[in-house]
Amino acid sequence: MAHYPHPIIAREGWPFLGGAVAVAALVTYVAGWYWALPLWLIALFVLQFFRDPARDVPGDARSVLSPADGRIVAIQPVRDPWLDRDALKISVFMNVFNVHSNRSPVDGEVKRRWYNPGKFVNADLDKASTENERNALHILSATGHDITCVQVAGLIARRILCYVEAGAKLARGQRYGFIRFGSRVDLYLPTDVRVKVTIGDKVRATCTILAELP
């Protein structure tokens, strides 16, 4: 998997964008701009949804970067259901207007990957973490810390894409997956991290430091 820079449009979006533009162009040709305008607006929405901008990588090896664009909806001590340990969970909710490519929060190696099918309740709700379709990665960071990074499908999302398996090496900010049409990402971190964000903060994948490892 390539590092940045990525193409401006995520590869996952080309079939959707191509189809939307083709239909809009056909209706424009057959019926004119008036009837095609809603279809061009849909094509514009698809274009903005699948944008995938390059990002500068801040901090150092102890910085935990946001794995997604969105809003912080949870910061709480929990039991990590994947590694069966006490952890601090930070959740980022993505609406349909956010960039939806997912990037590695730390430098490290993927030790395990789990996939669970599930429901599609609103990803803004905390129960989405345990009830929705989800894909989890156990990443052993370069600093020796266990990080669990979980892609969670949302109310509209029906497809989680993950391009890494156990053994893959990840760099901070490296793109590893995508979730289509509304979702969230949960991070389970060591309990002694220094949190750098608060509930309600808007964050950007790679650009925002969520926490500092001890």
According to DSSP, the β-strands at 101-103 and 175-179 are antiparallel
> What is the pTM assigned to this prediction?
0.81
Q: Say what the pLDDT of residue 5 is.
A: 46
User: From 2.70.70, 3.40.720, 3.90.1690, 2.20.200, which CATH number describes the 63-212 domain?
Assistant: 2.70.70
Distance of CA 22 to CAs 16, 43, 173, Å? 10, 9, 33
Burial class (CB in 10 A: 0-12, 13-18, 19+), 161: middle
Active site residues: 183
Q: How many residues does the chain have?
A: 214
Q: Say what the pLDDT of residue 129 is.
A: 54
With the C-alpha atoms ordered 185, 191, 193, 197, is the resulting torsion angle positive or negative? positive
User: pLDDT by residue (tens digit) across 162-175?
Assistant: 999 999 999 999 99
* Ranges of the chain whose pLDDT falls below 70: 1-7, 118-132, 154-158, 181-182
CA angle 137, 139, 145 (to 5 degrees): 140
Q: Say what the pLDDT of residue 98 is.
A: 86
User: pLDDT by residue (tens digit) across 11-48?
Assistant: 777 888 889 899 999 999 888 888 999 999 998 888 87
